[in-house]
């Protein structure tokens, strides 16, 4: 009996890879960068001098710790600090330490799509800050947000660092912000990082480092298809390509086929033909300015309460209320 498409495409990963590689132009979602190897490569990206985002946000949280901490505080009932996409928690620890040392009554709830990241963070916090009340969870943002609706009724501070919102196109970003607004109560806060528009060369360098770590990160999506879906991509035949449009603030990553080739993906019963120089679009990393963030907030029913920036004004963290 012939396998039906529904039986064949029985996971979101399979379905989205099938759709993206059958489309013209071809695309794949950057959310699939993050397997064990992808997580490790992203850690390396965050430590690269070219990838200024991490250092800028760390500087913001370190130089405004008290103001940010006091913005979060609820002296009467305490608060729940929920972090979406917590990663290794390096930046958050600055705030957690301040809160712990200044008698905040709070629970820290880190949420990440990577089981690996959540486990490492929980173990690390248990060792470094054993008195901290941590309630970690693995899950996709949108799915976890649903569950947050029934969460404690005391103040919630939802934190999304790392300019993770930049990996969503504006309509999806508005959908995401609107869903966050929907789980917020009147006194809740949303604290979010937005990488800012700046000298275009610095942005290109951040996404096209000389050591090739970002290239390996981008290509990891093909390695993953080879391993998990029995594909036969010849990774060496693809070039990592980055573009930045200073008008729209959109950085885009592509994989470019260096020659014409045919790729088969057994588990999808799919043959993909590439012309020479054909592309797979893999990621957007949106850069913002105050006007754009204000527009996103208005579209999502949120209000900007305040914002914090670093010395070079490369990056901003905004606090929103509903």
Tell me if 140 sits within 8 A of 176, measured CB to CB: no
Return the half-sphere exposure (C-beta side, CA atoms, 13 A cut-off) of residue 293.
Answer: 25
* Residue whose CB is nearest to ligand AVI in the complex, by number: 285
Phi, psi of 231 (to 5 degrees): -90, 165
Q: How many residues at the interface with ligand AVI, by CB under 6 A?
A: 12
Tell me if 284 sits within 8 A of 25, measured CB to CB: no
Stretch that binds ligand AVI, among 92-100, 164-172, 197-205, 303-311 (CB under 6 A): 164-172
**160 or 268: CB nearest ligand AVI:** 160
Looking at 106, 191, 207, 308, which residue binds ligand AVI (CB under 6 A)?
207
Answer yes or no whether residue 38 interacts with ligand AVI by CB under 6 A.
Answer: no
Q: Provide the Cα torsion 129, 148, 88, 285; round to 10°.
A: -150
**59 or 155: CB nearest ligand AVI:** 59
The distance of closest approach from Cβ of residue 161 to ligand AVI in the complex, given in angstroms and rounded to an integer, is: 9
Sorted by sequence, the CB contacts under 8 Å of residue 24 that are 6+ apart come out as: none
Stretch that binds ligand AVI, among 99-107, 157-165, 224-232, 300-308 (CB under 6 A): 157-165
Looking at 54, 59, 163, 205, which residue binds ligand AVI (CB under 6 A)?
163
Stretch that binds ligand AVI, among 11-19, 91-99, 156-164, 259-267 (CB under 6 A): 156-164
Alpha-carbon gap, residue 135 to 216, rounded angstroms? 33
Answer yes or no whether residue 282 interacts with ligand AVI by CB under 6 A.
Answer: no
The distance of closest approach from Cβ of residue 160 to ligand AVI in the complex, given in angstroms and rounded to an integer, is: 10
Answer yes or no whether residue 164 interacts with ligand AVI by CB under 6 A.
Answer: yes
The distance of closest approach from Cβ of residue 226 to ligand AVI in the complex, given in angstroms and rounded to an integer, is: 20
The distance of closest approach from Cβ of residue 53 to ligand AVI in the complex, given in angstroms and rounded to an integer, is: 6
226: tokens are 């080879």
Looking at 20, 38, 162, 249, which residue binds ligand AVI (CB under 6 A)?
162
Looking at 17, 45, 95, 221, which residue binds ligand AVI (CB under 6 A)?
45
Alpha-carbon gap, residue 306 to 52, rounded angstroms? 22
Looking at 111, 283, 297, 322, which residue binds ligand AVI (CB under 6 A)?
283
Which residues here bind ligand AVI, judged by CB under 6 A?
A: 45, 53, 162-164, 166-167, 207, 214, 217, 283, 285
């Amino acid at each position: 009996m012939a396998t039906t498409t529904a039986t064949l495409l029985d996971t979101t990963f399979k379905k989205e890879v099938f759709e993206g590689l059958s489309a013209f132009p071809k695309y794949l979602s950057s959310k699939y960068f993050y397997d064990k190897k992808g997580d490790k490569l992203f850690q390396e990206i965050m430590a690269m001098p070219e990838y200024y985002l991490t250092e800028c946000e760390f500087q913001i949280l370190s130089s405004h710790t008290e103001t940010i901490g006091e913005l979060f505080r609820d002296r009467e009932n305490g608060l729940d600090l929920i972090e979406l996409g917590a990663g290794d928690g390096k930046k958050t620890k600055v705030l957690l330490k301040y809160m712990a040392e200044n008698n905040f009554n709070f629970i820290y709830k880190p949420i990440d799509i990577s089981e690996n990241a959540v486990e490492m963070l929980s173990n690390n916090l248990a060792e470094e800050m054993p008195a901290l009340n941590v309630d970690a969870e693995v899950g996709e943002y949108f799915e976890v947000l649903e569950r947050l609706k029934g969460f404690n009724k005391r103040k919630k501070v939802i934190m999304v660092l790392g300019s993770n919102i930049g990996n969503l196109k504006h309509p999806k970003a508005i959908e995401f912000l609107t869903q966050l607004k929907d789980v917020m109560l009147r006194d809740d806060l949303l604290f979010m990082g937005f990488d800012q528009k700046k000298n275009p060369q610095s942005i290109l360098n951040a996404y096209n480092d000389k050591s090739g770590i970002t290239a390996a990160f981008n290509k990891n999506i093909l390695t993953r298809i080879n391993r998990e879906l029995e594909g036969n991509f010849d990774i060496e035949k693809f070039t990592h390509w980055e573009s930045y449009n200073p008008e729209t603030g959109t950085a885009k990553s592509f994989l470019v086929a260096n020659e014409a080739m045919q790729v088969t993906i057994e588990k999808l019963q799919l043959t993909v033909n590439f012309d020479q120089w054909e592309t797979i679009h893999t990621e957007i990393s949106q850069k913002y300015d105050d006007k754009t963030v204000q527009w996103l907030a208005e579209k999502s029913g949120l209000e900007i309460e305040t914002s914090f920036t670093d010395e070079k004004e490369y990056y901003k963290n905004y606090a929103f209320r509903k």
